[in-house]
Structure 1
Amino acid sequence: MRKTARDGLPPGPPLPGWLQLLLMMRWWPLFVARCRRRYGDVFTLGNTMMGRMVYLADPDAIKQVFAGDPRIFHAGEANSMLGGLLGETSVLVIDDDLHRDRRRLMMAPFHRDAVARQAATMAEIAAQNIAGWPVGRPFPVAPKMSEITLEVILRTVIGAGDPDRLGALRSVLPRLLKVGPWRSLAIARPELLQRRPWRRLARLMAEADRLLRAEIAERRADPDLAERTDALAMLVRAGAGGDGMTDEELRDQLITLLVAGHDTTATALAWALERLTRHPEILARAVAAADAGDDEYLDAIAKEALRIRPVVPDVGRILTEPVEIAGYRLPAGVMVVPSISLVHSRSDLYPHPEVFDPDRMVGATPSPSTWLPFGGGNRRCLGASFAMVEMRVVLREILRRVELATTTEPAERQRLRHVILTPHRGGRITVRGRRPGVGAVVSGARAAR
């Protein structure tokens, strides 16, 4: 006999909202892990910024959310606090038919063939950056990864070619995207941008807008638009039939792609290197795979790094009407939260989940409800394939070009920066030397393999 769903919310910690917010800002993964041990796979948190949140660590419940009616499970509404930076028409903060239509227009640049064409550029950018790495002394690799992923976006997504504008974008965007708790307040409440503490952020946003709008205008006027391969050109071409995006909408999508694809991929790469340098046998196999062109093992490293150190700890959906999930009839207005970090640490899905083991990902096709670093359902990250190719290409270039030292240092802690979990020391590595016999740039055929 089917059990009757319980009305109301699952149990959770009886702590005031302000205290839960502080605990999540400082110890997010630890706090939710302890709540799961105390309350089980479904529990309620509530803080003064996000309201009531029902956390889900059960794959069946997560599958229900991802497969649910998008009109009931609102992801854009759950992301609304990002609207001050991304813009009101960003594909991340809109819902229903508008989201469906915008997502359809944005698919072309992230098709498998389109991404493969960008692999040679990714390899070239990585090679040029790696050539400047220090030898013989430790350094945080996360900033280097950020430089690489930003340059990849500038050249393959935005397609910036004007030297002066490209230089300005390289200067402005890293400062704009460096979001901490103080800036998060103004992003969540844009009216604060008019006040003195946040006026510098407002100026950075205005300068970024000016530069991006100049790129949009240039692309619309480009007589060779049909031959261009950058994402912006594809977005402009996609709207040539009359149902395209306005300049404002294009600006919002470009900022969204920058935010969603810059520090996230850079952080994932930093975590992969942090893990590799603490596992000598895996590092040796990774070097051999890079030399042999074994993409399967490099992909497995990337997948396992994203499992054990997910860059984003969870995703949210706000209910627009009551829904029965995991034995509870949840009211409208509640946010349901598939927890990436909790699912990835389940021992019944991943034996010894605390162990970094790329072999578990070799030849595996994890379920979308058990491996979900890019979210899921109709809101799965548009750039997931792009990010996986970029991780493979950059890891290959690093492993072929430099000899990484291993370390017995303790694992770096996860530190929350806005909504991203970064290595608390920046993923410190040491290059012992440069490997001989590798040219300055990998050929396009090899890089796109």
Structure 2
Amino acid sequence: MATTLPPGPRLPRPVQTALMLRWGLRFVAACRRRYGPAFTLRVAGMGTLVYLTDPADIKTVFAGDPGIYHAGEANSILKGLLGDTSVLVVDGDEHRNLRRLMLPPFARDAVAQQTGVIAEIAAANIAGWPVGTTFPVAPKMSQITLEVILRTVIGASDPQRLAALRAVMPRLLSVGPWESLAIADPDLLRRRPWRRVREALAEADRLLYAEIADRRADPDLDRRTDALAMLVRAGGMSDHELRDQLMTLLVAGHDTTATGLSWALERLTRSPAVLAKAVLAARSGDDDYLDAVVRETLRIRPVVFDVGRVLTDPVELAGHRLPAGVMVVPGSVLVHADEHLYPDPERFDPDRLLGVAPSPSTYLPFGGGNRRCLGATFATVEFRVVLREILRRVDLETTTSSGEHQRLKTVIFVPHRGARITVSAMRTAEPGDVAESPGTSHRV
């Protein structure tokens, strides 16, 4: 049978690529208005993309045969950074087996054991925030979430190695377009212009392999709760595979959560009524409302642009028979802004998601199907715990300034000014405030 594609702009591929890089959100939104719920784009480095915004089509993709819908292939440009065995870039049996090994450290009970450490890390960072001075909070969020990953996922405890990891990881996680070329094409790493990227990767590898060796030799391995220890205990992974998964967790679990937290504070300081409710919730232990703030933040400001699947066979979808080789893209940024699904979508309103379990085909911050982010529970709990510590420990000034724009940084949307906030006062926790302590098991 003949294959067809949905309509889309007839602009040359280089022009579409430039529009996606410079005005991605506005470009796809304009295409949705002009061409309907499914449309075709052609982007250099990614190929032919079919954007989907109908929840029924998105459900079909997420429930589809993983042998036909290849998510790993869609993420292949990340191999230069994550490694060729990363759970994000493999497909088929290899992906299924890796995911099975990696799920236990991110199960609810395992995550609950880490909440005390997360709160402790957040509190220590918050204590150093300036008072009365407007500052970008995004770098502070990155410091917190990196420390959380290093201590709870990797389990790093050697002071010198921790310091070295704190220094090298931001260099890898803040790459610009020039450095991204070498990540997409690892052969470039051998060339002089990308020497600094190569050296940073080599240093990160040295440190991660040292952690792996320590964990394999640790006589107290059975008592450790960090994710690396759990993966070593489970067996089935070589040092190379463990390195790739650790790098994946560092990259995918650090910058994304930090950005979500930054957006939460950017939105809260522009929504006085919501901020007041969130502060009350944080100081009284109302996790339900804080969870709603987390969900609404990730709806109104999706951190990841979109997710994709490369078709290995032709499929019937969105009224077309799509050819093999096309990447189908459930358009989360468009779905989350759909006024039929979320009335007045630009209003920051956590109440709309209070006590609600959104449909997996209309709420997509963590992807879906067999490729749903395996760290989703960890990320949402970390988000809630850090947000609670902030709202317990500082008073935030509200602002009437316009909201910060969404700027695309590699594959995530960051606040273009770093989510600038002002702390009016530090607050000593009152006896009635709810704090997180080691061993506390709040609802996750």
- TM-score range, shorter-chain basis? over 0.9
State the partner residue of 1:320.
312
How far apart in 2 are the matches of 1:359 and 1:442? 24
Q: 2:131 aligns with which of 132, 135, 146?
A: 135
Return the offset for 1:8: 1.0
State the partner residue of 2:364.
372
State the partner residue of 1:390.
382
Return the offset for 1:6: 8.0
Q: 2:264 aligns with which of 261, 272, 281?
A: 272
Is contact 2:282-2:392 (8 Å) kept? Answer: yes
What CA deviation, in whole Å up to 9, does each residue of 1:310-356 have, x standing for no partner? 00121000000000001000000000000110010111110111111
Return the offset for 1:47: 1.4
Q: Secondary structure of the residue that 2:424 maps to in structure 1?
A: strand
What TM-score, normalized to structure 2? 0.98
- Give every structure 1 segment of 4 or more consecutive aligned residues whose post-TM-superposition deviation is greater than 2 Å: 436-449
State the partner residue of 2:81.
85
State the partner residue of 1:425.
417
Alignment of 1:68-217 (within 5 A): 68-217=64-213
How far apart in 1 are the matches of 2:84 and 2:258? 26
Alignment of 1:221-370 (within 5 A): 221-239=217-235, 244-370=236-362
Alignment of 1:19-38 (within 5 A): 19-38=15-34
What RMSD in Å do the two structures reach over aligned CA positions? 1.3
Q: Give the aligned length.
A: 441
How far apart in 2 are the matches of 1:206 and 1:167? 16
Give the letter for the 1:9 counterpart: L
Return the offset for 1:436: 2.5
What CA deviation, in whole Å up to 9, does each residue of 1:341-391 have, x standing for no partner? 001011111011111100001010100000010000000001000000001
Is contact 2:113-2:439 (8 Å) kept? Answer: no
What CA deviation, in whole Å up to 9, does each residue of 1:221-277 have, x standing for no partner? 0010000000000000111xxxx1000000000000011100000000000000000
Is contact 2:122-2:144 (8 Å) kept? Answer: yes
Alignment of 1:48-87 (within 5 A): 48-87=44-83
Give the letter for the 1:390 counterpart: E
Is contact 2:115-2:437 (8 Å) kept? Answer: no
Return the offset for 1:7: 3.3
Unaligned runs of 5+ residues in structure 2 are: none
How far apart in 2 are the matches of 1:367 and 1:253? 29
Q: 1:41 aligns with which of 33, 37, 54?
A: 37
What CA deviation, in whole Å up to 9, does each residue of 1:42-72 have, x standing for no partner? 0000012111000001110000000000000
Give the letter for the 2:67 counterpart: R
Is contact 1:310-1:373 (8 Å) kept? Answer: yes
Unaligned runs of 5+ residues in structure 1 are: none
How far apart in 1 are the matches of 2:281 and 2:210? 42
Give the letter for the 1:444 counterpart: P
Q: Secondary structure of the residue that 1:91 maps to in structure 2?
A: coil
How far apart in 1 are the matches of 2:161 and 2:342? 47
Q: Secondary structure of the residue that 1:355 maps to in structure 2?
A: coil
Give the letter for the 2:128 counterpart: G
How far apart in 1 are the matches of 2:328 and 2:415? 27
What CA deviation, in whole Å up to 9, does each residue of 1:87-125 have, x standing for no partner? 000000000001000000000100000001000000000
